[in-house]
Amino acid sequence: MRKLLPLALLGLSAFAQVDVPFWHAMDGPAGRLIAAFAQEFNARQDRYRVLPRYQGTYEEAETKLVAALRAGSGPVLFQAELSFFPRLVAEGQALPLEAYLDLDPGFVADLFAPAWNYGVVGGRRFGLPFNTSTPVLFYNLDVFRAKGLEAPRDWRAFERTALALTSRAAKGFIFVTDPQAWLFEAMVTSRGGSLVQDDRPNFTSREAVAALEMLYRLKEAGALSVRSMAEATFAQLDFVRTKGMMVMASIANWPAAENFSFAFALGVAPVPREEGGKVPMGGAQLVVLKGASEAQARGAVAFWKYLMEPENVARWVEASYYVPLRKSALPLLEGFYRENPFRKVAFEQVAHAQERPRLSQFSAWARVLAEALERSLKGGVPPRKALEEAQRKAEAMR
């Protein structure tokens, strides 16, 4: 009888390789780097095989995931935008991850705390930080210099600056009404307010009303261009073609903007902020979905640990411009930030960053708010009335 050789001697794994399908919403350089990360991770071990798949924008990926979950299918690992993440947890679609982590305290201490903390809901960890951003103010540096202007640090200065930049050919500010009202939220939290209070919508707060009234005044003065998220490309073109002089967006929009040919020097500044004000984090958490096997969950966590290696964090920041999630990656980014100091604005703003509301209803409330912003700024509904209507609609959804 022939003696069978051990699998290891035949170059075979004693374990069947475990597939870990990973759905994400990153395209361009960031998407290509995700594919490279998966390829590298798969090559350096033979237990798990991560299979990344681009699913479109956050909103498109969420729609596809909801349909897949209803059909009893879907990925193992999902990149959940921060306002969608609590919904997955509340609906029981996200697996708790404590059993798979086994992290050294030094590793945890090295992580950017707000992003790490956001993954905990109800005392249990359901999310792992991956791409974290803050909103910033992009501006036409050449025009600012020509007019002797500086990037505004508070909202009164911002309004004055927007008016000073406005001409027959250009608006002072381009405002994008994104579906999750993240940019408007930044205008509220930077004033010291919040869109949620006591687990209820807080759309009629003093800070929210002040933010929308400011935008409304700029619109009435001809200093504001309003675009919906569906018109985001037009907003970029308006800015690049000098039809608008300032625009708020995620720092992660910078690589995409570089696809356009700028005829001016690009300036980047923190969001204008009042004393004690904060800016809301953006980005996503990685979630392991219900139905994943224990081996798949362990594979997903192992891949996340690979993403969090300092060298990979630095590579990710250079490709995507997201905020570095580990302090130990900062020395590796010195050259990147030195090459263009504006790249460091979002990271420096982290000192004033805060988590978005972790409520399953918040995503739906934010959509109602985004619609109200459009009705006011495009349809002429007075700010307070628009916000009161949004408050009533959101309250009715509870």
Going by C-alpha positions, the residue among 283, 249, 282, 281 that lies closest to residue 268 is: 249
Type of residue numbered 297: A
- pLDDT higher than 70, residue 7: no
The DSSP H or E segment spanning 318 is helix 310-320
Residues 346-391 have pLDDT tens digits of 888 888 999 899 999 999 999 999 999 999 999 999 999 999 999 9
- Please indicate, yes or no, whether residues 384 and 259 belong to a single structural domain of this protein: yes
- Please indicate, yes or no, whether residues 196 and 77 belong to a single structural domain of this protein: no
Using the structure block, give the residue that is written with the tokens 């628009």.
Answer: 386
Range of the domain at 43: 18-132+282-354
pLDDT recorded at residue 236: 85
Tokens representing 160 are 């004055």
The answer to whether residue 5 sits within a structural domain is: no
Buried b (16+ CB within 10 A) or exposed e, 367-392: bbbbbbbebbbeeebebeebbebbbe
Q: How confident is the model at residue 12 (pLDDT cuts 50, 70, 90)?
A: very low
- pLDDT higher than 60, residue 13: no
The answer to whether residue 7 sits within a structural domain is: no
Tell me the C-alpha distance between 283 and 112, whole Å: 13
- Please indicate, yes or no, whether residues 87 and 40 belong to a single structural domain of this protein: yes
**pLDDT, average across residues 293-299:** 98
* Strand arrangement of the beta sheet that strand 18-24 belongs to: 48-54, 18-24, 77-81, 282-288, 128-133
- Please indicate, yes or no, whether residues 249 and 375 belong to a single structural domain of this protein: yes
pLDDT recorded at residue 1: 44
Give the CA distances from residue 276 to residues 92, 193, 235, 273, 352, in Å, rounded to whole numbers and listed in that order. 36, 10, 30, 8, 8
Contacts of 132 (CB under 8 A, 6+ apart): 112, 114, 115, 281, 282, 283, 322, 323, 325
pLDDT recorded at residue 4: 47
- Please indicate, yes or no, whether residues 144 and 236 belong to a single structural domain of this protein: yes
Give the CA distances from residue 328 to residues 26, 256, 369, 383, in Å, rounded to whole numbers and listed in that order. 24, 27, 39, 45
Is residue 203 within 8 A of residue 254, CB to CB? The reply is no
**pLDDT, average across residues 229-252:** 89
- Please indicate, yes or no, whether residues 235 and 365 belong to a single structural domain of this protein: yes
Residue 300, domain CATH: 3.40.190.10
Residues 89-142 have pLDDT tens digits of 999 999 999 999 999 999 999 998 889 999 999 999 999 999 999 999 999 999
- Please indicate, yes or no, whether residues 288 and 346 belong to a single structural domain of this protein: yes
State how many domains the chain has. Answer: 2
The answer to whether residue 149 sits within a structural domain is: yes
The answer to whether residue 8 sits within a structural domain is: no
The answer to whether residue 13 sits within a structural domain is: no
Residues 160-185 have pLDDT tens digits of 999 999 999 999 999 999 888 999 99
* Residue count (the chain): 398
pTM of the model: 0.90
The answer to whether residue 101 sits within a structural domain is: yes
- Please indicate, yes or no, whether residues 189 and 252 belong to a single structural domain of this protein: yes
Tokens representing 158 are 């911002």
- Please indicate, yes or no, whether residues 194 and 340 belong to a single structural domain of this protein: no
The answer to whether residue 226 sits within a structural domain is: yes
- Please indicate, yes or no, whether residues 190 and 245 belong to a single structural domain of this protein: yes
- Please indicate, yes or no, whether residues 313 and 338 belong to a single structural domain of this protein: yes
- Please indicate, yes or no, whether residues 122 and 203 belong to a single structural domain of this protein: no
The answer to whether residue 249 sits within a structural domain is: yes
Going by C-alpha positions, the residue among 153, 149, 176 that lies closest to residue 165 is: 149
